Structure 1
Amino acid sequence: FEVQGQVVNETPTAMTRVTVVVTTYNAAGQVTGFRQARLPDDLPPGGRLPFALSLIPQEAQPVEYTVVAEGRPLQP
């Protein structure tokens, strides 16, 4: 299972240590897998970083997934 997308920094502050977490779910809403990855670059205000995460869910093809991204403000 692969999820691709972009992380967008909508804040006025550059971000560092940007991490993306993908969680997959079955039809009952139970977690069937997750994957976490840190993006290699800092993210300037208004910037975009692409990502692609592959994971193997513990069950058949997931029916739903979520993507969460977070980072820390870059100190000047």
Structure 2
Amino acid sequence: MSRQSISLTRPNDEWLKEQVESEEYASKSEVINDLIRRARETEQIRKKLIAAEESGPADQTPDQIRAGIKARLKNAAEI
């Protein structure tokens, strides 16, 4: 794991301390890593949504889409 040195504004530092003091996290590093992880997940979701929008309209009806989703969920539950 790499070590980094960062500068924080007073309000951000206080917020980090509060997170650790509330025992939600064990350290400031844990908080920062969680924030970065969430930001990366959000970025991945955003990219998928943009790709979906750019792909154009679906060639299936809403009923066909629902039926496909139900079939996939049923198959996943059987595994």
Higher RCO, Cα 8 Å, sep 6+: 1
Q: Looking at secondary structure, tell me which structure has more helix per residue.
A: 2
Whose radius of gyration is greater, 1 or 2? Answer: 2
TM-score by length of 2: 0.18
TM-score normalised to structure 1 length: 0.18
Structure with the higher strand share, 1 or 2: 1
